[in-house]
Structure 1
Amino acid sequence: MLYCKPCKAKIAGVHEHCPLCGGNLSGEPEKERSYPIIAPNPNRIKRIIQILSISAIAGAIICVAINVLVPAGIWWSLFAVLGLACGWLWAVVGILKKAKLLNNIVWQCVLISALAFLWDAVTGWHGWSAEFVFPCVCTGAMLAVIILATVFRMPDKEYLILLIVCAVIGIIPLIFLFTGILTVILPSVICVAVSLIIISIQLIFNWKALYREVSKKLHL
């Protein structure tokens, strides 16, 4: 049987890493898995993708409509549509390939944001990366993590830390708001509000699980 030294727990079945903390395991794995692998229901997956698709399309149409009805001198709705498209892509890929997909969402959030800031700086800094791309990507990442965790009924240990990481990153636009470098503040306000709500919910209703997962990750 496998053994995880940081968690001080024996792990049954066939695992490459500890399912509790993700660390290395010692010992010999069992010859057979403790539980059979259950194939996903294709009809259920298809229905979920359809719901996500129509939700993303509806959100994009609403953003464009608001931009037309309330002119702001810039087509900010195009960036909102891009953020929705990224969120839709994260969610769909997560449904089709959910193995460690939540980790990829966080990394993609950081990578896309960094590339957007770099591109904006190289092209003369017009501020679109801070006003639209970064808050939209952060909001999309948080929603993607929540949707995937809900759809697949993931336990706290699989998504809680990553959700908090996305929420903490989503507070960064607050700096942009206080420094006054933004001309369009709506995406940043929404991003910060969603981040603070998520953090507050986890601290109030799920603080024990959060403390447990942080302790395991830091081996406290």
Structure 2
Amino acid sequence: MRRRRRQQLRRLVAFISVSAIIVVVAINLLYQSHGWWSLIVITVIAYSWLTVSDTVLSLKSLMLRLGVQVYALVIAMVILDWRTGLHGWSVDYVIPAILFLSLVGALVGIGISRFYGWKTSEIFGFAVAVTVGALIMLGLSFSPLVKVAWPSQAVACVGVVLLAASAVFLRKEFSQHLREQWHF
């Protein structure tokens, strides 16, 4: 019964999202005075749908849902930056900030997991996924795409330090994660 209700709610959210997108595109086509502003609204609607559908209504693991949210938010910020003139604010500041806050969240999750008895291997997986994103930003910081390099470089350092500290101080849990997820 709960699963059926969840599917109905997901369909309702999808219907509302698609309807809103159709209305926004129609208004943009009928009254085209400032270009394709509807792409910004569509990005927000799509991200909102993903938030409700994948995070709130999903039965997948919490860390997988949070990982999807982090990268969906990164993509949404790049699209919004591009639609507002590609001034680079997303790659210079916003994406490193999202990754940094995600790493802080992973660190807090690892810290309180022992208190609540949570399984830390999922949190390590999330931290690894975010660190990979931070390392990609580190690589991009040496390209002309990123004009302010220090936020990307700083978040990459934080990610590497978090994983190194996990490997040193939480050796048992970290090695369990490597065995379960990466088969090492």
Please give the range of the TM-score, normalised by the shorter of the 2 chains: 0.5 to 0.7
Displacement of 1:163 in angstroms is 1.5
| Aligned mates of 1:219, 1:176 — CA distance in 2 | 30
Per-residue CA shift, 1:57-103, capped at 9, x if unaligned? xxxxxxxxxxxxxxxxxxxxxxxxxxxxxxxxxxxxxxxxxx94333
Given the superposition, is the C-alpha separation of residues 119 and 207 from structure 1 closer, same or farther in structure 2, using an over 3 Å criterion? same
| Aligned mates of 1:119, 1:100 — CA distance in 2 | 28
- Aligned residue for 1:148? 109
Displacement of 1:205 in angstroms is 4.3
Task: Give the CA RMSD over aligned residues.
Answer: 2.5
Per-residue CA shift, 1:124-146, capped at 9, x if unaligned? 31111101111000111111121
Displacement of 1:168 in angstroms is 1.6
Displacement of 1:183 in angstroms is 2.5
1:189 to 153, 162, 168: 153
- Aligned residue for 1:104? 65
**Partner-residue secondary structure (3-state), 1:179:** coil
Q: Which amino acid aligns with 2:101?
A: G
Q: Which amino acid aligns with 2:176?
A: R
- Aligned residue for 1:180? 144
More helix by share: 2
Per-residue CA shift, 1:184-204, capped at 9, x if unaligned? 233212211101212222344
Given the superposition, is the C-alpha separation of residues 181 and 109 from structure 1 closer, same or farther in structure 2, using an over 3 Å criterion? same
| Aligned mates of 2:182, 2:135 — CA distance in 1 | 23
2:85 to 124, 137, 143: 124
**Unmatched segments (≥5 aa) in structure 2:** 1-59
Displacement of 1:219 in angstroms is 6.3
Percent identical across equivalent pairs? Answer: 20
| Aligned mates of 2:151, 2:173 — CA distance in 1 | 30
Per-residue CA shift, 1:156-188, capped at 9, x if unaligned? 324222222211211111122111332223321
- Aligned residue for 2:50? none
- Aligned residue for 2:133? 169
- Aligned residue for 1:214? 178
Q: TM-score, normalised by structure 1?
A: 0.48
